[in-house]
Structure 1
Amino acid sequence: MGHASEVSVEKLAKEFQPILLEDERIERAYKLIRDMLVFTNKRLILVNKQGLTGSKADYQSIPYSSIKTFSMESAGIGDLDAELKIWLTGEDTPTIKQDFRKGDNINQAYRVLSKYVLK
């Protein structure tokens, strides 16, 4: 899938406004070529752009309550190349694996997961 790059939450507000709940807000978002990982205060949204032009998109919502385990693998705690893995309930292997490149703070994504999964 490639490396994830952080995307400005303000840039996504208009695109996601029709599908967000009244009290839901985007916490962090990461773009993966055309696809995205969007962390809100309610769920993780996976956006899969389809077709040659990417004009068709699949939005998959994963409630934080469905995430049973998550991990971060890197050379250190800093902003080095790292991988985020997420296991969903009922799965023995990570359902979501995403690489983050240096400078895109995987720690922020990890904190959002911690905040909502571990409550």
Structure 2
Amino acid sequence: MIDFNSTGFVKLSPWDGQQAFEELAGVLLPGEQVLLAFKGMRDSVTFTDRRLVALNVQGMTGKKKDYTSLPYSKIQAFSVETAGAWDRDSELELWFSGLGRVKFNFASGVDVRGLNVLVSERLL
């Protein structure tokens, strides 16, 4: 499992949903659909219609990969922080039952209000 306290998902930028689907093909359930995907240098987070999948690529070659499934049903609270004039990054924080806080930082230009709507639709 990814240690979200020491490893941050920083500067995530929009990622093509088809590429995310292909990367996660062995992990996704039959019929599970990719809704949104974001990728950093090597790591990614994908929002499906059932869960979030955080992918942590490890090692020098990148062959070792950690896939962490975060079900929407375990989210207890969430928060978004939009970009400002000086701080151009935006953030999504999720609090999971039994796991604690998970924080994703997005590159400038990512509108986290859309993520707020997506998470709201899954929870409320």
Q: TM-score, normalised by structure 1?
A: 0.84
Match 1:101 to one of 98, 103, 107: 107
Deviations 1:49-107 (A, max 9, x none): 1101211101011111111111001256xxx521111100145x52x111112212222
Secondary structure of the equivalent of 1:97?
strand
Partner Cα distance (1:16, 1:47) in 2: 9
Partner residue, 2:62? 54
* Structure 1 residue ranges, 4+ long, deviating more than 6 angstroms after superposition: none
Return 5+ residue gaps in structure 1 as ranges: none
Cα root mean square deviation, aligned: 1.7
Partner residue, 1:14? 22
Deviations 1:11-45 (A, max 9, x none): 22222222211221000011122111110000111
Secondary structure of the equivalent of 1:113?
helix
Partner Cα distance (1:75, 1:109) in 2: 14
Return 5+ residue gaps in structure 2 as ranges: 1-7
Deviations 1:98-117 (A, max 9, x none): 11122122222222211112
Between the two proteins, the alignment pairs up a number of residues equal to 113
Kept in 1, the 8 Å contact 2:55–2:65? The answer is: yes
User: Which region of structure 1 is more displaced relative to structure 2, 30-39 or 107-116?
Assistant: 107-116
Match 1:110 to one of 107, 116, 120: 116
Partner Cα distance (1:48, 1:108) in 2: 24
Partner residue, 2:5? none
Partner Cα distance (1:103, 1:74) in 2: 10
Q: CA deviation at 1:48?
A: 0.8
